[in-house]
Structure 1
């Protein structure tokens, strides 16, 4: 049996404590992109770029373990949109991130390689910890959030997201979670929720923390009870958590989806006010360069029809270019548009009269700090927020999983098994799981 096989068997036997006594392997399998292939999609439109061609499963060396870091045996991971961006080399190849990081210090130089092990989620077991780590030990069952931060300067000490050397692990750093072993900073680790399987526990990390900061945190929209919250893509990776946070926090979600099937998922979560944008046939753009304010108005009227006359207090934005003009228009006077991404394009256009004359605010929100991630994970562990896993792939099928996300042919989150040989493993509290099984399975088979 290989060294990784012995580690895997110890974890599957429920003897995670034995992991610390087993040798660390010299290599592992990881999902990679290659620096010599960054031009492979040249001349193609984004929608035509195929992650199955650019994502590889390679044997790679286990990286050197530095101070304040941990090596984790990865049982499962998940697909995020940043893995799609990495795989199609947009907006820039991630090797530029790795090269820049590599110049920071001799230790950071490890990340500047001709291959990039991707992935920004994991659940697994700590293999080893570096010098100075005291909160975690080998054998601990963990999940990881994706904030990689140096914290040597003053800027990040009120909010680590503002640190000058803040990066997203597995996207702007190497040795990510779509692999059998991952390298993280110890302050990325959080306890694995004990009522979830490995794949369920791996799926919330990035999107759950992002939605928490964007909607709940004072660093974001600071949502309160009774707020009307317009949520784009309300059954997707981000939106499915925003919908849960709105419902859990006493707000009133207005869920925007693109099909009856996605509308039904929102209803299963408990939402009542739903707009199927395809059924309504909204066309916010007349052409590539001109938007249609009449369509904004029609959209706003639909929202008021559902809410009994109320405009959104908060707009949960992430599509970007396609929807941003409508979002700025739709928010109520004094309302907030909080944006964390631009999956339909980065160059946003809106009519500033609706912003300045109505005292609206636009807030930029990017991932979450450790405290926000910890709180978001704590809510998962307490069964107040549930994972939105719909489907799970093997490590070898990561390219197909990324293609599903790229083409929006998925619901919620798409998981990837690493060292876990099958789904359904890793549950430590069956009684708690039984109480929440309906919520846990809300997206299954969708």
Structure 2
């Protein structure tokens, strides 16, 4: 691994020299263990500690298959799916690996008693498998997390509809929180040249997810002038949704939980902000009963901010806690587009407000390759910016995951893998200088 890192840090290593590098038979990775899936039984979700379940250890390098690539991972990031994996909710991920392992002799590699996690990376191509023509050793890349087989016709209009669609590093093994990752070549995209390794790794999953959910025709199809209600507008996902609304000529209505997060939204350029904690919004009277008077108060607050207009689109991801209010708040004919459910999967809403007002609920899950490529292109052009607030070394990945689990972070939390320190990997210094304030907007918060 030292020879690999030295080659990357040299900055002038040729493709031929990269191809000649010897790969190790083992590498450092972040794992969860199959024999520990019951370790948190009886505890509430909040009391489950990723620092106890995430291990940093050496694992065997898997076989490289056709259409695949080994990537030297310089940096990765924490997503909520890694938190779910680490606390074994809503179920242990080993069921995903077992199912994938039954698909083919090659996919059997993924069914192991340990799971290498992580769904983001930036790094350098080390080796490609048979049939890979677009990428070569030495290419600096980022990876999106869509893994597809595309042997069924169902995925050939939208690859997210492939019956064998999976999220890499969550529903597959050999993820990005490691020194080496195994990816399909059609997960790869060019690393934005003006970003450091840790900055380039951070947007992947959430940036692509926000793009499909809000901008793509597969999601809400946002247009200029739309009022867009964004929950958690300064967070890892919401921070990109806020940028896409502003960049696309829409009007974000940003919902945050404290004034510090409100300031982040203002720095992004948003003006309409609801601090739900300061304004005391409580959408549930108790565990079983929602408070519709709070829905109405919330809707009135939105109209006060927008000059009397309801929102055209609700960007939903908290789930159970907010979904009833989201359905209520959308305008007649409006759209509620939802991914994830960080506050609970069992959503409840009053269907009268949906059917009688001709509203739509759209489910959105990650993004296809084209959508991910477009989202990454906007990062590379300096039109959308990373939301990285902090980066941990790989040895402290448990603390990084705990930060996200307990919502102690802003934007995205990065993880240095092979990168020995922050600030490395910038190739376009002039472009970086032009966007430095935006790149550092979330830093240190």
TM-score (norm 1): 0.99
Paired with 1:374 and 1:299, the residues of 2 have a C-alpha distance of 36
Equivalence for 2:11: 14
The alpha carbon displacement at 1:16 in A equals 4.2
Paired with 2:21 and 2:358, the residues of 1 have a C-alpha distance of 60
Query: What CA RMSD, in Å, does the superposition of the two structures yield over aligned residues?
Result: 0.5
Residues 149-190 of structure 1 show CA distances to partners (whole Å, capped at 9, x for unaligned) of 000010000000000000000000000000000000000000
Quick check: 1:229 aligned with 2:228?
yes
SS in 1 for 2:332: coil
Paired with 1:53 and 1:16, the residues of 2 have a C-alpha distance of 39
SS in 1 for 2:261: helix
Equivalence for 1:39: 38
Paired with 2:90 and 2:21, the residues of 1 have a C-alpha distance of 41
SS in 2 for 1:333: strand
Equivalence for 1:5: 2
Equivalence for 2:436: 437
The alpha carbon displacement at 1:283 in A equals 0.8
The alpha carbon displacement at 1:20 in A equals 1.7
Once the two structures are superposed, the pairs formed by residues 264-413 of structure 1 within 5 Å of their partners are 264-413=263-412
Paired with 1:5 and 1:269, the residues of 2 have a C-alpha distance of 40
Paired with 1:189 and 1:133, the residues of 2 have a C-alpha distance of 11
Equivalence for 2:153: 154
Paired with 1:107 and 1:168, the residues of 2 have a C-alpha distance of 17
Paired with 1:187 and 1:29, the residues of 2 have a C-alpha distance of 24
Equivalence for 1:172: 171
Paired with 2:26 and 2:126, the residues of 1 have a C-alpha distance of 14
Equivalence for 1:241: 240
Paired with 2:51 and 2:311, the residues of 1 have a C-alpha distance of 39
Paired with 2:357 and 2:41, the residues of 1 have a C-alpha distance of 43
Paired with 2:376 and 2:46, the residues of 1 have a C-alpha distance of 33
CA contact (8 A) 1:124 1:198 kept: yes
SS in 1 for 2:181: strand
Structure 2, unpaired ranges of 5+: none
Equivalence for 1:217: 216
SS in 2 for 1:101: helix
Paired with 1:58 and 1:107, the residues of 2 have a C-alpha distance of 24
In the alignment of these two chains, the number of paired residues is: 443
SS in 2 for 1:373: helix
Residues 325-362 of structure 1 show CA distances to partners (whole Å, capped at 9, x for unaligned) of 00000000000000011000000000000000000000
Paired with 2:12 and 2:321, the residues of 1 have a C-alpha distance of 50
The alpha carbon displacement at 1:15 in A equals 2.8
Equivalence for 1:100: 99
Paired with 1:322 and 1:139, the residues of 2 have a C-alpha distance of 46
Quick check: 1:416 aligned with 2:382?
no
SS in 1 for 2:385: coil
SS in 2 for 1:142: strand
CA contact (8 A) 1:35 1:95 kept: yes
Residues 174-232 of structure 1 show CA distances to partners (whole Å, capped at 9, x for unaligned) of 00000000000000000000000000000000000000000000000000000000000
CA contact (8 A) 1:16 1:125 kept: no
The alpha carbon displacement at 1:290 in A equals 0.6
SS in 1 for 2:30: strand
Paired with 1:141 and 1:247, the residues of 2 have a C-alpha distance of 29
Residues 18-50 of structure 1 show CA distances to partners (whole Å, capped at 9, x for unaligned) of 322211111110000000000000000001100
Paired with 2:137 and 2:6, the residues of 1 have a C-alpha distance of 15
Residues 69-95 of structure 1 show CA distances to partners (whole Å, capped at 9, x for unaligned) of 000000000000000000000000000
Structure 1, unpaired ranges of 5+: none
SS in 1 for 2:331: coil
Paired with 2:74 and 2:25, the residues of 1 have a C-alpha distance of 18
SS in 1 for 2:218: coil
Residues 293-344 of structure 1 show CA distances to partners (whole Å, capped at 9, x for unaligned) of 0000000011001010111100000000000000000000000000011000
Paired with 2:207 and 2:82, the residues of 1 have a C-alpha distance of 16
Paired with 1:434 and 1:322, the residues of 2 have a C-alpha distance of 41
CA contact (8 A) 1:16 1:140 kept: no
Paired with 2:239 and 2:387, the residues of 1 have a C-alpha distance of 7
Paired with 1:241 and 1:19, the residues of 2 have a C-alpha distance of 34
